[in-house]
Amino acid sequence: MAARKSTKKPNVSADELKTFYRDMLLIRRFEEKAGQLYGMGLIGGFCHLYIGQEAVVVGLEAAAEEGDKRITTYRDHGHMLACGMDPKGVMAELTGREGGYSRGKGGSMHMFSKEKHFYGGHGIVGANVPLGAGLAFADKYNENGRVTFTYFGDGAANQGQVYETFNMAALWDLPVIFVIENNQYAMGTSQKRSTSSPDIYTRGEAFGIPGEAVDGMDVLAVKEAGDKAVAHCRSGKGPYILEIKTYRYRGHSMSDPAKYRTREEVQKMRDEKDAIEHVRDLLLSGSHVTEDDLKAIDKEIKEIVNASAEFAKESPVPGPEELWTDIYADVAPQNA
């Protein structure tokens, strides 16, 4: 694959570049394995892969701090891995097993980790946006200096509840970063056919919310924009919008043949804009690694992913008694 050549030196260290490469490769290989398991019938229902969009979450997680929150839609496996959730638990949940993060009851769209401050995967388009503002409201109320990353797509950006949330977030100066992962096709309709404005982030201007468009195929650009947005929110200036222009290589879900675009278009993006190959080129051209070093990283990642698949296969299917757990919060009344 012939990745684009960089015209400037990266403003990050060699170790950071290696971490970006490894983290994006983990997401890529994990999603490829998930696609295989879906084809084998081990993952039921819907399965939305993140292949091609890896730089978005890896770049933004590099800008986050411990205690920051994230909430997203159903294309969420990459977000889980980027914030440090165990691949074994994620894959087990995808396959509906007890070893999963929601003990096999949530699947792809309803997976959570309190420890990693990951508040889902949500199956209703745009419904997570007001929830993200609610998380940010709690942080402001508690004065803890935390920031919430609220992810949604270009299709969800046309939902009315998004703009109701923009209004509230601006009124209350909430520390929330609205991340529009614009992969250009929503489910299967191009942005040009579905969205009146070419730059979606500018819609925040009506509410006084600043924002910018970012090259979502360049993890360094995403990290830089993320740092700026985080600093804005932590300083008490209210919400910020990042429209990260990215591209998914697969269909909307595993059941989507993606006939609304040409194979040539997808291949051109892979050849010229692939985020992983971009960092690979930076590492090699900067003499930070050798080809053998990269092969060793790939081998390590494949072993992790294969182990997650084996763990999922060996984990038992939850029994009927599991239906009665997690119904009520295990919290005692304040005056008890």
> Tens digit of pLDDT for each residue in 195-242?
888 899 999 999 999 999 999 999 999 999 999 999 999 999 999 999
Domain count, the chain: 1
> CA triplet 224, 249, 290: central angle to 5 degrees?
60
Residue 138, exposed/middle/buried by CB under 10 A (0-12, 13-18, 19+)?
middle
| Residue 188 confidence (pLDDT) above 50 | yes
> Is residue 335 situated within a structural domain?
no
Beta-carbon neighbour count of residue 171 at 10 Å? 11
> CA triplet 183, 218, 264: central angle to 5 degrees?
50
Report the distance separating Cα 33 and Cα 50, nearest Å. Answer: 12
The region that residue 64 occupies, defined by phi over 0 for left and psi between -120 and 50 for alpha, beta otherwise, is beta
The confidence band for 3, taking pLDDT boundaries of 50, 70 and 90, is very low
> Is residue 318 situated within a structural domain?
no
> Is residue 320 situated within a structural domain?
no
- CA distances 290 to 13, 296, 334, Å, are 16, 10, 59
Model confidence pLDDT, tens digit, residues 244-302: 999 999 989 888 888 999 999 999 999 999 999 999 999 999 999 999 999 999 999 99
> Is residue 285 situated within a structural domain?
yes
**What is the per-residue pLDDT for 7?**
46
> What is the residue-wise DSSP string for 271-283?
HHH-HHHHHHHHH
The region that residue 84 occupies, defined by phi over 0 for left and psi between -120 and 50 for alpha, beta otherwise, is left
By percentage, how much of the chain surpasses pLDDT 70?
95
Average pLDDT of the residues in 170-192: 95
Give the closest residue to 33 by CA, choosing from 84, 101, 83, 81: 81
Question: What is the domain extent for residue 140?
Answer: 14-311
> Is residue 334 situated within a structural domain?
no
> Is residue 7 situated within a structural domain?
no
Q: What is the mean pLDDT of the chain?
A: 93
The confidence band for 96, taking pLDDT boundaries of 50, 70 and 90, is very high
Task: Please identify which residue in the block is written with the tokens 């675009």.
Answer: 261
> Is residue 108 situated within a structural domain?
yes
The region that residue 43 occupies, defined by phi over 0 for left and psi between -120 and 50 for alpha, beta otherwise, is beta
Model confidence pLDDT, tens digit, residues 32-48: 999 999 999 999 888 99
Residue 313, exposed/middle/buried by CB under 10 A (0-12, 13-18, 19+)?
middle
> Is residue 2 situated within a structural domain?
no
| Residue 336 confidence (pLDDT) above 70 | no
**What is the per-residue pLDDT for 333?**
58
The confidence band for 127, taking pLDDT boundaries of 50, 70 and 90, is very high
Give the closest residue to 70 by CA, choosing from 88, 57, 87: 57
What's 42's DSSP letter? S
CATH number of the CATH domain containing 256 = 3.40.50.970
**What is the per-residue pLDDT for 136?**
98
